[in-house]
Amino acid sequence: MAKRVLLGMSGGVDSSVSAVLLKEQGYEVIGVTMKLWEGEIEGSCCNLSSTMDAKSVCDFLSIPHYTLNFKDTFHKYIIQDFVQCYQAGKTPNPCIACNRYLKFGKMFQMAQELQCDFVATGHYAKTEFDQERNCFVLKKANALAKDQSYVLYNIPKEKLGQVIFPLGEFETKQKVREMAEKRGLPVAKKPDSEDICFVPDGDYVRFSEKEANIQPETGEIVNQKGEVLGEHQGLYRYTIGQRKGLGITSKVPLYVLRLEQEKNRLVVGEEKELYQKECVVLDVNWLLPKIERKPQEWMVKIRYSKQEKLAKVCPTQFGAIVQFQEPQKAITPGQSAVFYQGDVIVGGGIIQ
């Protein structure tokens, strides 16, 4: 009897090719698209047109398709957290939260209801059984330029054996598109969705103000010495490392160094002042068994767009302390630090 897979489908090329691969590998595939957001936002991965694209692919492949309404869950765990993080002076990554609570949370519940053996998505990553470690592990995809393992570290380690990433072995995104065209998929030429699905224009400030009815509270912009340089327009409008839009003049370029919530102050400084060697990471999800509480050298990635760097990581009762070999630029509270041992993900958590 064929193993049954619940495949998350956004209507894009990646999840559609994943459906083809799973079906050709002999799985019984069920496609599911999550309704997460109200309205039709151009370029979004979860709007009505994307749902229709996913359904057309499933019809083309003769596999069943479901649309699930998770708007309330999405609003609670992703939208509210997104806005609250900015209000608290942090910079969130909503894709990580969505993977945690929706794609590998609610989807697993749905998989159980449909008696599915596996959950799959079109992410660029790999899961496999590691003989030496005697457990399933999460690994980087072969297509390193598209690797998405960073945003997947929150998958519960006990569920890794039930997760399939069909695109993990592809070397490039172009190869995926070529397969889509070869198989005649109706979404073969559909462009990628790059922005946050609910903020497609990238204006998170306007979104946050509208969503939470935030009223900007002005305050001082100061340097490290406490000297007042100007006035900010609400701390939630700024992020660590930001240079443009500060509204102050200086002989040298100034960057946001930190947001002091209690004093309602924005601290700025020169680029060299952005570099730090240490950070605290909480809410850590460890993906490997028997993590010892002693300093260990791993590669650490502090943003999706950055390369991982060598660091000494000391697991603690509440998370981990990370000490980089070389100072890192703009370590940002709210972003995630993910630990790598070679191409295997050890774990990850939220930077404080």
Q: Of 292, 303, 296, which is closest to residue 338 (Cα–Cα)?
A: 303
From 269, 300, 334, give the residue that closes a domain.
269
Same domain, 160 and 21: yes
Mark whether 261 and 296 lie in a shared domain.
no
Question: What per-residue confidence (pLDDT) applies to 23?
Answer: 97
User: Which residues neighbour 203 within 8 Å (Cβ) at sequence distance 6 or greater?
Assistant: none
CA distance 261 to 250: 24
Decide if 58 is catalytic: no
Is 189 a domain residue? no
Please say if 98 is a catalytic residue.
yes
Q: Residue 258's closest CA among 272, 243, 239, 275?
A: 239
Tokens of 86: 């900015």
Nearest-angstrom CA–CA distance, 201 and 60: 32
Q: Considering only CA atoms, which of 199, 188, 200 is closest in space to residue 11?
A: 188
284 and 264 both lie in a single domain: no
Number of domains into which the chain is organized: 3
How many helices (H) and strands (E) are present in the chain, helices listed first? 8, 17
Provide the 3-class DSSP secondary structure of residue 68.
Answer: strand
Cα separation, 224 vs 281, whole angstroms: 24
Angle CA 345–102–51, to nearest 5: 120
70 shares a domain with 175: yes
For residues 264 and 329, state if they share a domain: no
Same domain for 8 and 99, yes or no, is yes
260 and 235 inside one domain: yes
Give the separation between CA 99 and CA 107, rounded to whole angstroms.
Answer: 10
CATH number at residue 235: 2.30.30.280
pLDDT given for residue 18 in this prediction: 98
Q: Kindly state whether residues 163 and 289 are assigned to the same domain.
A: no
Q: What are the residues whose beta carbons fall under 8 Å from the beta carbon of 262, sequence distance 6 or more?
A: none
Domain that holds residue 306: 274-351
- Per annotation, catalytic residue among 45, 58, 85, 197: 197
Is residue 209 in some structural domain? no
Domain boundary among 203, 236, 269: 269
Which helix (H) or strand (E) element contains residue 94? helix 94-98
- The verdict on residue 200 lying in a domain is no
Which of 134, 161, 182 terminates a domain? The answer is 182
Contact 168, 125 (CB under 8 A): yes
What does the DSSP assignment read for 124-175? SEEEEEETTTTEEEEEE-S-GGG--GGGGTTS-GGGGGGEE-TTTT-S-HHH
Distance of CA 133 to the CA centre of its chain: 26
Question: The tokens of 275 are what?
Answer: 């570099």
Report the half-sphere exposure of 248 (CA within 13 A, side-chain side).
25
Q: How far apart are CA 5 and CA 111, in angstroms?
A: 8
pLDDT of the residue at 38: 66
Q: Flag whether 27 is in a domain.
A: yes
Same domain, 101 and 16: yes
Q: What is the pLDDT of residue 46?
A: 57
Q: How far is CA 151 from CA 94, 177, 209, 336, in A?
A: 9, 22, 26, 9
Q: Per the domain annotation, does 205 fall within a domain?
A: no
For 135: left if phi > 0, alpha if psi spans -120 to 50, otherwise beta; the answer is: beta
C-beta atoms surrounding 67 within 10 Å: 15
Is 26 in the same domain as 166? yes
Rounded to whole angstroms, how far apart are CA atoms 210 and 83?
10
- CATH code (residue 133): 3.40.50.620
260 and 312 fall within a common domain:
no
- Residue 306 within any structural domain of the chain: yes
**Of 58, 98, 116, 279, which is the active-site residue?**
98
- Show the low-confidence residues of the chain (pLDDT under 70): 38-48, 194-195
161 and 279 fall within a common domain = no
